[in-house]
Structure 1
């Protein structure tokens, strides 16, 4: 039933996905019900909801443009369901915006497979990731993805290795200039305090434990088959698939390093995890098992809302 709806790209799929995202967004804000609904508050929430929606569309664009999955909408469904699994991911504007810029950077990194406009893509990728780091410092770890892409493509052009650093430096200069204009100091707009925390006590609730266990177990299981099937992909696309699994690892490192474990840090993991699990769903031969596998991911977040 569920697989038959999302196994092809259709407009109705995005309506369902947007509804799930809206539900996650509303549930995350139930604690704000007693807050005054000022115009500023309403505008801010609408902007954040728009960022969440545009991130989903951007994920769909990245996947379709680079043939990271077959022509279906499983990845956007999974992304929206992950938001419902951990609704706190929609409740922190800095992480939502940072993740959006990370996706913009990922789009340029994955598109390096075409080997066209390489310099521009490298600069853009570093530029977007550096901006993402302004909103959430540990997003800077995705810069490693650019360097690893050059390694995987065995790029020996020295200029290509320098360009990403120029992209980061450009953002740094822009930030310093903006800080001087707005705050009359050099680093007022920069968040360059690499704080970390390994206190996971905030996850000690039943809903958190179930959500994290399901996401990680399904992710690890799917990753095993994902890695096994990379060599079956067309040679031109193999590096792109490798970059997705590396992005997932980097995202997991961000979760571990996050200075405040409030659940929002898992947002960085959702896009690569959605792509990895989608690839696994596509290779499942037994229709009943595919239906059960996807049904668990669909039904469980709604059940967790009752806890």
Structure 2
């Protein structure tokens, strides 16, 4: 319900809409895709025990989408993140020891599709190998499986355009333009939530990591992957040619997981509520800036 409020408010406030069946259908279709993404994220979190049995991560994800409302309108970034969720599902479940080769292939395959949608998604191929390394599934055979999975959709896509003599479209799809111009981040609607997010995520990582290291269970291993997930996401945001806030989508999932774990392990209910209310206030306030 909260996400629906954010989404439809953003649509009607910041985007001109043609009153037609096609445009209304597109708006509703994208909304349903977001709902599917949130349900999939919730499934991944619970299946792999990335957060305790609570809904903090899902709530924070929704509040961050509301805070950076441009994330809801760059469809290539959204769909690449949706596909990457399918890859993350495989990566975080490598530790189960079940169907490892299949999971490695699938993870590489989904990263390959995400790369065709948004080129810089290719960096998440690193996360597949980090998962192998952390869960001790690295061997000569497994080493090449993610690569095979990754290039499979690229070869299919290349073959399709080669057959129709339209290879320029294929080459244009793999566009690795970069931009380090962060001037747009000076706008209050981005500066305020980014500042809060950076301060909180640094605090969470610094205070939570020593506690997690002392734990001898699978979450300790997953935490290492989450940290690399965060670093890879930051790299993509930094190099992204688009700097309007939509690129921050890549940060939302690892950040939500980290903050959710921090909130859960914080003893003070007052502090928990303060963090959540602060995010809520900012997610509403940016619409007035």
Normalising by the residue count of structure 2, what TM-score does the alignment of the two structures yield?
0.94
| Cα deviation, residue 234, structure 1 | 4.0
2:14 matched to 1:31?
yes
Question: Structure 2 CA distance, aligned partners of 1:38 and 1:144?
Answer: 43
| Cα deviation, residue 280, structure 1 | 0.4
Match of 1:185 in 2: 166
- CA deviation vs aligned residue, 1:95-126 (integer Å, no higher than 9, x gap): 11000011110110000011110000000001
Match of 1:264 in 2: 246
| Greater displacement, 24-33 / 219-228 | 24-33
| Cα deviation, residue 216, structure 1 | 1.4
| Greater displacement, 230-239 / 142-151 | 230-239
- CA deviation vs aligned residue, 1:104-149 (integer Å, no higher than 9, x gap): 1011000001111000000000111111111111111111001112
| Cα deviation, residue 302, structure 1 | 1.2
8 Å CA contact 1:28–1:91 kept in 2: the answer is no
Structure 1 segment 169-180 matched on structure 2, within 5 A: 169-180=151-162
Question: Structure 2 CA distance, aligned partners of 1:57 and 1:234?
Answer: 29
| Cα deviation, residue 57, structure 1 | 1.0
Q: Give unpaired runs (5+ residues) of structure 1.
A: 1-18
Q: Give unpaired runs (5+ residues) of structure 2.
A: none
Match of 1:9 in 2: none
| Greater displacement, 253-262 / 148-157 | 148-157
Match of 1:64 in 2: 46
| Greater displacement, 110-119 / 145-154 | 145-154
> Could you tell me which of 212, 221, 226 is aligned with 1:239?
221
Q: Number of matched residues?
A: 287
Match of 2:27 in 1: 45
Structure 1 segment 71-220 matched on structure 2, within 5 A: 71-180=53-162, 183-186=164-167, 188-189=169-170, 191-220=173-202
Match of 2:287 in 1: 305
Question: Structure 2 CA distance, aligned partners of 1:275 and 1:156?
Answer: 26
Normalising by the residue count of structure 1, what TM-score does the alignment of the two structures yield?
0.89
8 Å CA contact 1:252–1:269 kept in 2: the answer is yes
Question: Structure 2 CA distance, aligned partners of 1:173 and 1:40?
Answer: 33
| Cα deviation, residue 187, structure 1 | 5.1
| Secondary structure of 2:54's aligned partner | coil
| Greater displacement, 244-253 / 145-154 | 145-154
